Amino acid sequence: MQKVLLAISLVFIGVNTYSAELAIPNVLKTGDATNGASLVATCAACHGNDGNSINTDWPSLAGQNQKYLYDQLGYFVSGERENALMTAVIPYLKTLSSDEMLDIAAYYAESPASVGQADSDADLLALGGSLYRAGDLNRGIPACTACHSLYGEGNVQAGFPKISGQQKGYLISTLKEYRSQIRNAGNYALVMQAASANLKDDDIEALANYMHGLYRK
Ligand code: HEC
Ligand code: HEC
């Protein structure tokens, strides 16, 4: 809980000044990606062979950080995070050990992520870019860069997810689920419930378009 409060207060203090103190030790061991590759045959139908989903509504997993993936798998298995399509693989995931789940997370983390193409509508891009980089203090919207970084890579050590290149339909649905607090698995979800509380539908559309097309040059 302390970590979450720290993360929330950082948004308002300005994360750059404090990032040195926030160094979180990388205590998570690394999974075996080669073994992970042998465990994901049933996942490819929706997440793609290499973790790059081809459907706008289904998330890509490629290049996502290991800690975030591992945590989310745990939430699906425990039932804290629910999704109709993911339900199909939960019986299978329950047969795996936690080391095997870490191997799956390591496999996707090492898989190269595709770059997305944003809709070039100028107004949409301007709104998305400005909210993503600066937030809107008057409307109580934090800068997304504080935790997801300027180019959307997230924060590997803290396990803040990469959102660059993520599928647009999924970004929209999941931001709405944080806003309505349907997505509520784990303490980190509370951070995003707060960050999305004051977003309007138009803001979410614009942010999703911007994040989908974001990449490091
Ligand atoms: C039938 C389609 C389908 C299959 C098969 C499937 N998934 Fe998913 N998966 C989804 C959808 C849709 C979501 C988004 C859930 C949501 O919106 O909460 C998701 C979400 C996830 C997430 C969270 C992604 C994020 O960015 O938060 C992980 C991790 C994941 N799946 C892993 C797996 C693994 C591992 C397998 C194979 C054992 C698998 N999935 C099989 C459809 C599927
Ligand atoms: C204080 C840190 C912080 C800020 C600021 C923040 N996020 Fe997040 N974000 C997180 C964390 C931590 C998670 C993982 C939450 C979880 O486990 O459910 C997350 C998750 C997400 C996800 C889900 C990723 C996935 O694969 O399912 C999206 C989308 C997202 N954030 C977008 C945004 C946007 C847009 C903004 C700016 C309006 C923002 N975030 C601001 C920390 C932050």
Give the residue carrying structure tokens 């992970």: 36
Q: Is 212 annotated as a binding residue?
A: no
Interatomic CA distance for residues 132 and 189, integer angstroms: 18
- pLDDT at position 29, please? 83
How far is ligand 2, taken at its centre, from the CA of residue 68, in Å?
Answer: 11
Ligand sitting nearest the alpha carbon of 191: 2
Is residue 184 very low, low, confident or very high in pLDDT (cuts 50, 70, 90)?
very high
Is residue 187 very low, low, confident or very high in pLDDT (cuts 50, 70, 90)?
very high
Least confident of 13-27, 175-189, 202-216: 13-27
| Percentage above 70 pLDDT, the chain | 87
1 pLDDT higher than 70: no
**Three-class SS of the chain:** CHHHHHHHHHHHHCHHHHCCCCCCCCCCCCCCHHHHHCCCHHHHHHHCCCCCCCCCCCCCCCCCCHHHHHHHHHHHHHCCCCCHHHHCCHHHHHCCCHHHHHHHHHHHHHCCCCCCCCCCCHHHHHHHHHHHHHCEHHHCECCCHHHHCCCCCCECCCCECCCCCCCHHHHHHHHHHHHCCCCCCCHHHHHHHHHHCCCCHHHHHHHHHHHHCCCCC
161 pLDDT higher than 80: yes
Residue nearest to atom 15 of ligand 1 (CA): 83
Ligand sitting nearest the alpha carbon of 105: 1
Whether 11 is in the pocket of ligand 2, judged by its Cβ within 6 Å, is yes
Residue-wise pLDDT for 191-211, tens only, equals 999 999 999 999 999 999 999
Q: Which of 39, 54, 64, 86 to mutate to test the pocket of ligand 1 (most atoms within 8 A of CB)?
A: 86
How far is ligand 1, taken at its centre, from the CA of residue 137, in Å?
Answer: 34
Residue nearest to atom 1 of ligand 1 (CA): 85
Interatomic CA distance for residues 103 and 70, integer angstroms: 9
Residue-wise pLDDT for 21-69, tens only, equals 444 444 578 999 999 999 999 999 999 999 999 999 999 999 999 999 9
18 compared with 115, residue with greater pLDDT: 115
Which structural domains are found in the chain, ordered by start?
2-23+116-212 (1.10.760.10), 33-110 (1.10.760.10)
Ligand sitting nearest the alpha carbon of 103: 1
Pocket (CB within 6 angstroms of ligand 1): 40, 42-43, 45-47, 58-59, 61, 69, 72-73, 83, 85-86, 88-89, 92-93, 104, 173-174
97 pLDDT higher than 90: yes
> Are 132 and 209 within 8 A, CB to CB?
no
Tell me what the mean pLDDT of segment 65-90 comes to.
97
Is residue 6 very low, low, confident or very high in pLDDT (cuts 50, 70, 90)?
very low
